[in-house]
Amino acid sequence: MRTPSVRMGRLIIALAAFGLMGADAPAPSPDFPDGYRDWRHVSTGLIGPHAPAYAANGGFHHIYANPAALRGYKAGRFPDGAVLVYDLFEAVDRGGDVTAQGPRRHVDVMVKDSRRFARTGGWGYAEFAAGERAPRPGMAAACHACHERVQARDYVFSGLRD
């Protein structure tokens, strides 16, 4: 028969192991930010067919920032609570020299929360397929890997336009 101290020791070890496993679990994805098109429009860009990122991100992208993100653009560091949205639409050739915005492809979201997303520079990432409110699984790591290139800019590619 085991003594209470042996059982207690095993319980402590089991709880410690569970706590460590919980620390390695991925943070939940950011939620879809309803109403983001009412936020400040930061910029618009076009990723054309010549770009390496065309297959995944080709088309017109509009970037929106909530008030906390606007403060971050101005300060050069983004505070917790900053949210950036990358709204991507197909580029449609209308003939001649006209390229128009087509259907939405996806919506990408970055949320700054230094505690919740500590392992990814304080940013949480999510991608939502057109018309969906549930994030695509497995995108956060890929998003962060790309954004690491601009770590010196607090992981943000875009700049605020006047």
Encode 22-36: b = buried (16+ Cβ within 10 Å), e = exposed.
eeeeeeebbeebeeb
Does some domain include residue 161?
no
Does some domain include residue 110?
yes
Does some domain include residue 57?
yes
Using 50, 70 and 90 to split pLDDT, how confident is the model at 162?
A: confident
Q: What is the mean pLDDT of residues 136-156?
A: 95
Does some domain include residue 18?
no
Q: What mean pLDDT value characterizes the chain? A: 87
pTM confidence score: 0.82
What's the CATH number where 120 sits? 3.50.70.20
* Residue 117 clears pLDDT 80, i.e. is over it: yes
pLDDT tens digits, residue range 75-95? 999 999 999 999 999 999 999
Contact between 106 and 88 (Cβ < 8 Å): yes
| Number of domain units in the chain | 1
Q: If we measure between CA atoms, which residue out of 88, 89, 108, 91 comes closest to residue 100?
A: 91
Query: How many CA atoms lie within 13 Å of 120's alpha carbon, on the beta-carbon side?
Result: 25
* Residue 59 belongs to domain spanning: 27-153
Encode 148-161: b = buried (16+ Cβ within 10 Å), e = exposed.
eeeeeebbbebeee
Does some domain include residue 81?
yes
Which DSSP string corresponds to 31-75? PP-TTGGGSEEEEEEEE-TTSTTHHHH-EEEEEEE-HHHHHHHHH
pLDDT tens digits, residue range 33-83? 999 999 999 999 999 989 998 998 999 999 999 999 999 999 999 999 999
Predicted pLDDT of residue 8: 41
* Residue 14 clears pLDDT 80, i.e. is over it: no
Place of tokens 């080709």: 58
